[in-house]
Chain A
Amino acid sequence: MAHPYHDVAIVGIHNTAQAIELEGHDAESIALVGALGALADAAIEVAEVDGVVGQFAQETVLELGLGPCSRRPNMLGIPAVLEAASMICSGECDVVLISAGGARLHRERSHTAPWTRPANELVVGYGLFTAAEFALMARRHMITFGTTAEHLATVAATIRNNGHDNPEAVYSGRGPFTPQDILASRVVADPFHLLDCAMTSEGGCGIVLARADRAAGCAHRTWMLGAASDSFGPAYTVAPVWDYTPRDGGDNAGNVGARAARTAFRTAGLSPDDVDVCELYDPFSFEIIRQLEAFGFCAEGEGGPFVAEGNITADGKLPVTTDGGTMSFSHAGIAAQQLQRVIRGVEQLRGTTKSHQVEHAEVAMCSNGGSGALFTDVLLLGSDQP
């Protein structure tokens, strides 16, 4: 049987400028800049696009005069990439454009960012927000497995140092950081210090996928080896319970993404040992430890010691989130930073990163989501056509 993604390639990627505040843009306009940049990177004309996916899909169709055109609005991050791939594999489209962006969403600094504040009736009165929701999962892991604040700080220092070294990161040059620096920053939601958390910024990005025959003439082709999404329900409405296991014999909510990773590896015919670089989503430091366990890079409960041994640094066995992620590269709201995990994975496989290039990288793992939000998406990228 042919590989499900045999006939689709990622041929264009682009990050716009990323900054704490971008002048002259809103989310929609910076997403459009990201879209056009990705098409330019692919050397594909606007007129060739016959499908658009993402938070501003319909607006993009209008702005670029693409009608009639296929569209899938409201798809974010890795699920947007999967949607785009399925539009090509099903024969609906030849060239699909994904874009995302965030700007002017968070200017009221007396509050945390609007997307971090859930309004569900069962949580709103308790002052929960994303940092607190994720902290409830992290704490339970610490109780159960003995994971320490130093383990968490090691992750944050590693990723922030990657951003420090990345000339394109919003927090380029802000370091270097030691785990002690992380622990010395003020507490936001114990066990998370300020520097254990994602920052907020503004920026846009885009990705172009094309059917393999169209992609043949493109300068860069990156391939999807396997992918899947896990959910335990809507984010920020029910108690984030690590041990919640609704399906008999299934994974618990703390390991959300484990099933997705197994599925992705099975489709790819690969195992965690084959992964050269991990572009994991880093909303909070603990989530890296959790994902390393859930994805099979170490056993459950051993994520803390795994990072303490230096495995995830840029020169370690398994470099993680090499651009600085949402802690240092950029975190422009709801969608862009999720798509940027995929963009960085593609850059690593192309060999075109401006910092911490993993030599001869052939397989990259990208992820989105997190346990506090009860979902995790996984995508395995490869330099060779499956």
Chain B
Amino acid sequence: MSPLEPQPVGIPVPNPSVRSREYWDACRRGVLTYQQCSGCGFIGLRSFTVCARCLSHESRRKVSDGRGSLYSWTVVWRAPGPAFVVPYAPAVVELDEGFYMVSAVIGCETTDLTAGMRLEVEFHQVSEEIALPYFAPLMEG
């Protein structure tokens, strides 16, 4: 049995930039946000200056329900550095709003991972400043 858990404090953490500060601030409040173009409705995880589809300069951050499906994953047994506890499961999650993001699946066994499994965001503090959005199996109902 290899349960998947959040990483401990001490892993390399994100260094928010002027364009991502709002995203990480929301994460610290336990809220997952994404960017939506005001012109055509195009969405993405990252903030953008210009919409990649219609080139509009008008966009805003919106709150995601934090639910989605497992699009792809890997189970890592050889980490890039000693700070990470293995195994862990980096994943691409397709959020119900229609955008993709890199995260990691927690709260289940490595053998439970299946394509399309329903997931829900769960935040875990990995430094004083950063709460990382992870995804755990969604308990329906």
Contact = CB atoms under 8 A, between A and B. Distances in A.
B121 to A, nearest CB: 13
Given A132-B76, A143-B72, A239-B92, A125 B7 contact: yes
Contact of A246 (B52, B75, B90, B130): B52
Interface string B32-55: 000000000000011000001100
Contacts of B75: 187, 189-190
B1 interface: no
Nearest to B84: A127
B126 A125 contact: yes
A136 B72 contact: yes
A187 to B, nearest CB: 5
A127 B76 contact: yes
Contacts of A124: 12-14
Contacts of A123: 102
B83 to A, nearest CB: 9
B16 interface: yes
B90 A121 contact: no
B76 A140 contact: no
Contact of B12 (A119, A135, A187, A194): A119
A116 B75 CA distance: 17
Contacts of A190: 74-77
Interface string A104-139: 000000111000110101111111110110011101
Contacts of A132: 74, 76, 90
Interface of B: 7, 11-17, 20, 24, 45-46, 52-53, 71-82, 84, 88, 90-92, 100-104, 115, 126, 130, 132
Interface of A: 110-112, 116-117, 119, 121-129, 131-132, 135-137, 139-140, 143, 186-192, 194, 238-242, 244, 246
7 contacts: A111-B82, A117-B80, A121-B15, A126-B103, A127-B104, A131-B74, A246-B52
